[in-house]
Structure 1
Amino acid sequence: MTYAHLEVNDTTAQDEPPRNALIVANPAAGTTRTELVEEVVETCRERLGRTTVHVTTCRGDATGAVREALRGKGREEAPDLVVAIGGDGTVHEVVEGMVPGRRPATAALAIVPAGTGNSGYRMLWGDRPWRESLGAVLGGPAGGARKRRLDLAALAETGGLVFLGACSGVIAQALETARGIPLTGRPRYERAFARTAASFIPYPGRVTVDGALLHEGDTVLANIGGGRFRGGQYLVLPHSLPDDGLLDICVIGAEVHPREVPGLTLTGGHLDRPGVVYSRGRRITVERLDGAPLCFEHDGELQRGDWRTMTLDVLPGMIPAWGPRSEERTAAA
């Protein structure tokens, strides 16, 4: 795999710098600190006409706060920028609030990474420091930022929205393992992934893409997205573009031993292995065939239920999100 540096010059009048921000901070996220929130708030207030802050108090709180703010109050202008401070779960809740009734969002999203994996931030900004990316967002095109209309997916089994992606198998099970590991940030998931992979037993599965069979047999994982990374560093979907109107799918079969998967996916090296298939489509269904519940997650949250399937339908261009005008993308060598 090689990395091609692509210059993007499609800035339009719609990419004017933001004027009015809502900051949503999750104090329970993996690396959120009071000092971090205060610095983000101060930076926004120095550069924008109006900045309001909401600190979440419970699961789902971010979604309600964003919906209320975007309705506007009286003569107050609704925010044109929503800044999510937290991890992938926080970003997912914010996105849910930005698209009520599955209508495309009008405000734009910016992310300050403060969670365990932060795959959503890395999808947009790579490894750039958050101070640099936030400064670019507040400056708009002149600051080196542009808006992209990102695709979402709808999860048929729950009716929920998916921002980053969804995955069955070893990656999902590692989230359960992570609960008992006393670390924060990426090291926490890294240890959980390795520990889970060492003893993971592939499940009998089937994957279809737009009605056509892609895979059937023992399955280590099936990852759909969206975002190229899982856990902030595992390049499971190297070719995925978040704004192409399609969902990417990678399935790793039992030909690859689960304990090899963490190391292989750090570089995208799994794509060259027998038993690995990769495709794209608009509707993707992952099934477990032995009658047991399918273990899967989306946006870093393990899904609790008795489902044997997960079905994702793409929702193109739903979320304007600020990213760099130039970006590194993964391409085949």
Structure 2
Amino acid sequence: MVKKQKRARLIYNPTSGQEIMKKNVAEVLNVLEGFGYETSAFQTTPEKDSAKKEAERAALAGFDLVIAAGGDGTINEVVNGIAPLKKRPKMAIIPTGTTNDYARALKVPRGNPVEAAKLIGKNQLIKMDIGQAYEDTYFINIAAAGSFTELTYSVPSQLKTMFGYLAYLVKGVELLPQVSKVPVRITHDNGVFEGDVSMIFTALTNSVGGFEQIAPDAKLDDGKFTLILVKTANLIEILHLIRLVLDGGKHINDRRVEYIKTSYIEIEPKSDKRMMINLDGEYGGDAPITLKNLKNHITFFANTDEISDDALVWSQEELALEAIAQKFAHEVEELKPEIEE
């Protein structure tokens, strides 16, 4: 019996992280070949949705694994390419961006493409939740709205590339006096919130902008968003909330914050003012909008040895058994043609 070889497609952003990936492609391919994958690479282009289109093509071509190498934006694009499909390949990430929130959540080595690729050999998997914002738009980490969030749009893209979240932070402090509250109606699993907010923040992981305390108890695979509503626009109170975030995530119990776990969110503005939605750090459309949590939608390679048990619903033992079951099912699929003959 000739065993079918697994195939992997590396989709990498050549300009991310001072072109670090470009310098390491050959070695990364060699690592993946060593793990039994017939591996090929695709270099993204400035064309719109370049990574997304290639991810969809690779998935439809039957690749077993798609690796996204770049910043969180590249990972978002690749996810958007495979998330709508019924049969989705496994995913891995090689983080080379500035913030790398998703890599922090999955405990993937940052700034070292070869070490990140080696993680695949551990064969540790997590069925990750993915957010759906519109019929054909998905996000991996955050969805946000409100005047507090809209300040980030004024950060020049060059500064974002060079300084990552630090650029947002500096610009945000500079513009904090302009924060205002807007009236909204938000429907979620537990009921309805109606009132004025300066920020609506929805998280899928506990890592946001390099901080791991904004949604400190977020789970990666429970089918729930962490919804945070900031009910103040007072500068002193906002600065106090920021201090509470840095002090172990104590903001979640503050009276000026609504902290909710929910599988879906409907956001409706209650004024004529435009409300822009930020998806994974980029403009993603306007409210009204419904956000759905797609539970366990894409299987990612991760370093589960370093991920806190509190961040997962599935135990590491269950994940290991699931990996064995998937391998068995894959081998049965490979045997089918021979059985039918």
Q: Distance in 2 between matches of 1:96 and 1:40?
A: 24
Could you tell me whether the CA contact under 8 Å between 1:120 and 1:164 is conserved in 2? yes
1:39 is displaced (CA, Å) by 4.4
1:277 is displaced (CA, Å) by 1.2
Change (3 A) 1:293 1:104: farther
Once the two structures are overlaid, the 10-residue window that deviates more, 29-38 or 292-301, is 29-38
Q: Alignment partner of 1:100: what SS?
A: coil
1:155 is displaced (CA, Å) by 1.3
**Partner amino acid, structure 1, of 2:145:** S
Could you tell me whether the CA contact under 8 Å between 1:207 and 1:213 is conserved in 2? yes
Q: Distance in 1 between matches of 2:252 and 2:9?
A: 40
Alignment partner, residue 155 of structure 1:
133
Could you tell me whether the CA contact under 8 Å between 1:168 and 1:222 is conserved in 2? yes
More helix by share: 2
- For each residue in 1:20-78, what CA deviation from the matched residue of structure 2 results, as whole angstroms up to 9, or x when unmatched? 32111123445543224454334334444311111111231111111112222xxxxx3
The count of corresponding residues between Structure 1 and Structure 2 is 298
Alignment partner, residue 187 of structure 1:
166
Change (3 A) 1:325 1:319: same
2:31 is the alignment partner of 1:43: yes
2:295 is the alignment partner of 1:316: yes
Greater Rg by CA: 2
Alignment partner, residue 326 of structure 2:
none
Q: Distance in 2 between matches of 1:180 and 1:53?
A: 27
Task: Map 1:23-172 onto structure 2 (within 5 A).
Answer: 23-29=10-16, 31-33=18-20, 34-57=22-45, 58-72=47-61, 78-101=62-85, 103=86, 105=88, 107-125=89-107, 130=112, 131-140=114-123, 146-156=124-134, 159-169=136-146, 170-172=148-150
**Partner amino acid, structure 1, of 2:260:** S
1:19 is displaced (CA, Å) by 4.1
Q: Distance in 2 between matches of 1:198 and 1:138?
A: 49
1:210 is displaced (CA, Å) by 2.9
Q: Alignment partner of 2:198: what SS?
A: strand
Q: Distance in 1 between matches of 2:144 and 2:291?
A: 11
| Alignment equivalent of 1:177, drawn from 146, 152, 155 | 155
**Partner amino acid, structure 1, of 2:42:** H
The gaps in structure 1 that reach 5 residues or longer are 1-17, 73-77, 141-145
1:218 is displaced (CA, Å) by 2.6
Change (3 A) 1:222 1:30: farther
The gaps in structure 2 that reach 5 residues or longer are 312-341
| Alignment equivalent of 1:279, drawn from 260, 278, 286 | 260
Could you tell me whether the CA contact under 8 Å between 2:142 and 2:204 is conserved in 1? yes
Change (3 A) 1:329 1:198: farther
Could you tell me whether the CA contact under 8 Å between 1:176 and 1:302 is conserved in 2? no
Q: Distance in 1 between matches of 2:213 and 2:11?
A: 28
**Partner amino acid, structure 2, of 1:117:** T
- For each residue in 1:273-331, what CA deviation from the matched residue of structure 2 results, as whole angstroms up to 9, or x when unmatched? 2211111222212232221111221122122x4x3323101222210011123313668
Change (3 A) 1:323 1:187: same
Q: Alignment partner of 1:68: what SS?
A: helix
More strand by share: 1
Change (3 A) 1:210 1:32: farther
TM-score, with structure 2 as normaliser? 0.76
- For each residue in 1:249-270, what CA deviation from the matched residue of structure 2 results, as whole angstroms up to 9, or x when unmatched? 1111107633445544344232
1:119 is displaced (CA, Å) by 1.4
Could you tell me whether the CA contact under 8 Å between 2:100 and 2:110 is conserved in 1? no
Alignment partner, residue 271 of structure 2:
290
Q: Alignment partner of 1:207: what SS?
A: strand
Alignment partner, residue 14 of structure 1:
none
Aligned residues: CA RMSD:
2.8
Q: Distance in 2 between matches of 1:116 and 1:202?
A: 30
Alignment partner, residue 325 of structure 1:
304
1:197 is displaced (CA, Å) by 3.3
| Alignment equivalent of 2:245, drawn from 255, 261, 265 | 265
**Partner amino acid, structure 1, of 2:196:** D
Quick one: percent identity of the two aligned structures?
Answer: 24
Return the structure number with greater relative CO, CA threshold 8 A, min gap 6: 1
